[in-house]
A and B are shown apart, each in its own frame.
Chain A
């Protein structure tokens, strides 16, 4: 129930230069990786120098070199560990800013993090994921997709559920820009993801000698994909299909999307309204707007604009 954050005017020319940020954020080869072998080399030099000191005491002064090098390397290691921890903390704070919908601060923080070489690929990936959600929030969809593509290029290093989430987010930006053919293709890919997971579950049950539990298999599904399909149906005017999809996968979306299930309620309100079912539309609209502010919902889905003039918003008590 937070008030909407003011945002900068929608202007593609204001969008950040993501290509430059990709370049600047690449982790550099770490000299710190040489620390251990160099330290070991220094340690090996010490006995040799000590041996020579018995005959030439002045040589003992050379001990200062390996000992000094040892100290420098230890300091560098410590410093590197501290900077890694700082980076992790900064990325966590960025994620918190997004959760708290502090968008201007999140934009500033993500660009600041990506403007300099990052210490680890993992932190860079997390920052890019956060950055993509900020770009989407500001309606810089092309830039957001470019970031999604950059993340998906490293998909072998990314958790499969993250790959799926990014693909859903990417497809959503395609729908927002009315690129329906591309969006359909992405939806097909996501549907194949779900089918692969179901097949894997079936094989697992078979190999364990169990009877196939079809109910459990069918329960393997993606709320993100359901929401995507719902939005696609709204955009293409297939309101009957949208209503049917909503009613059949409402529980899935509620369980997986938490408060964001408001999106589904808002979209189905649009479908009910289009099908001249005002009572259901009013109920769905009330439910959507009791979970999320209408301004936020209409920002995400322009197709909802005008519904607030037809139906009552829930009264938020003082």
Chain B
């Protein structure tokens, strides 16, 4: 059961991450078309090869996003999917595309996430903008979060992740330098990625610890920086993979786990859903953690990386801080993690933030990671995290 590894990533595209985007503004339909064009060019394939589309919610349409996008691109597709898993969406898109291809209902699926600002609306809708500061928390009437999270201030992401870190600290101790090292090592990786928001701005462990505490114990440099950007990944069948000009990155394993919306109701907030997701991916691919050449874990916060390394089986529960201290997480190191800088080093372009991890894993396998290219990279584990570690996805990529 599971994926047989017959679908591959053969083309990727991403926009430079920019904290203050000043370029021309385009709608999501337009950005989606541009990202798709770039991914096809990267792969050396044509629009006529495409027969599947996978997207997120778009700003221009509250419903029917796949139809809106497919029509705009002039596509007739056999697979039309929208994924709504927060930061787990990109990884969730890739395995759904691979599964549809393996079922034989389509041959090439574009998975794209625009995340640049759209043109200013001459008829602004105040309600949508007013509620955006609640982040992943829904303040709509009837939503349990509106009633039982919002009045107490446990809104958006910082407080939830901070509480996960606090409970972890109470159970396992807390070496703040180890957590800061995750951010610092990834920032080092970002220095080899000109598209990173923090390119040209290295930060040391001491810099991270000297930055302001936002919600105990999280420093601001342990939290992603929002930015503009966007990313696309082209997933195709074996026949098209053979025609592509890139080394294919086959999707050989996947897993997904969703346990709650608020972290408040998780069984154990220090054991995250990426555990079952990664175990499923490893079992499907017939791999174990030691077989992985590069790990591209979703990294909205440093604690997310720590718990992902533990729960995916790279070290035991409670050993993550020791593991991080004993390994060099940079692209020159013995255990490379988020070689593009991750979202902590490269910035978080909305939902496309998690796509950066998929793209980097594929680029490392394709041998197209420029100055940060690993000398050998045949296997990658990529994870995605939505909400407050409430939903997580994992895929394993293997070079063809």
A, B in one complex: no
Chain A residues proximal to chain B, CB less than 8 Å: none
B residues at A contact (CB < 8 Å): none
